[in-house]
Amino acid sequence: MQVQKYRSLVYDSTRWEGFAFRPDDIVITTPPKCGTTWTQMICALLVFQSPDLELSLDLISPWLDMLTRDVASVRADLDAQTHRRFIKTHTPYDGLPHDPDVTYICVGRDPRDVFRSWDHHFENMDHLAMITARERAVGLDDVMDMLAQGPPPRAGREIDRFWGWVDDPTPVTDAMSLHSTLCHLQSFWDIRDQANVVMLHYDDLQRDLEGEMRRLAGRLDIAVDEARWPALVEAATFESMRAHADVIAPDTTHAIWNDNRSFFNRGCTGQWRDLLDESELDRYHRRVAELAAPELAGWAHNGTIPVH
């Protein structure tokens, strides 16, 4: 099977080439803004069985594809880890190496909430700090033409930015859009019955955090003493993660956020409701129908799938 390449200013999926898996590795593979950091924190809590992290989460569970660190140093950190490894990526299944002994966790979220979270994420990013970290790690020669053109135009109204995201024609290998979000989910939806694939959903985590954490522990074959569960579940709540944002938010190592706490913005479902009226919802659903089969679209927007 040919491996698809995904690349942007921020990430490069080819950094997975030649990566040496361990049999119990966990790959957390989500579209952006679908609960990636939440899932990393849950995995940290299950692996270490303590809410106290010795390092920042971005060092414990690095984003292998991200270009703000050179790949050799990321791999060296992972090689040195003696605990069960859980690695972050935003690369879909067709861009990853496949290993039957590795567990792949894919997380979905209502795409309308994904957009709102992404829009805030963009505003909260210190773009100069991110570019500076990238330059130090891998250089900028490959993106000089892009940088010379300056940042892409950004619509003034949020609703216009939403439609730009919904209708973005950029190939899914090169952009974050509604299309890329659904394609990522589709790549795992198609193999969801495989024993080493776990599907989580943001809404399900909100509805029953402890139940979903227990389900994931079972799928990962991690035994947790009953007495530990209350503290672990509490540490995985939005409020707790926001309170500890300096060690839990992504890439705090390079200070790429204007406000670490603001990375955890609202953490709720249905953020889109004050953005779209009925006619706009009709337009949105017509676009979704062009991009995804009804079964996947239903799960993406609502969560809850049968588990094995």
The helix/strand/coil state of 86 is strand
Q: Is 257 left (phi over 0), alpha (psi -120 to 50) or beta?
A: beta
**E strands of the chain, at which residues?**
26-29, 86-89, 103-108, 197-201
Q: How many residues does the chain have?
A: 308
d(CA 181, CA 164): 14
Residue 255's region, left for phi above 0, alpha for psi from -120 to 50, else beta, is: left
H helix and E strand count, the chain = 16, 4
Separation of alpha carbons 44 and 186, rounded Å: 26
Burial (CB count within 10 angstroms: exposed 0-12, middle 13-18, buried 19+), residue 175: middle
90 is a catalytic site residue: yes
Inter-residue contact 57 to 40 (CB < 8 Å)? yes
Which residue of the set 90, 244, 254, 301 is catalytic? 90
The answer to whether residues 91 and 223 touch, using CB atoms and an 8 Å cutoff, is: no
Give the strands of the sheet with 103-108, arranged side by side: 86-89, 26-29, 103-108, 197-201
**Active site amino acids:** 90
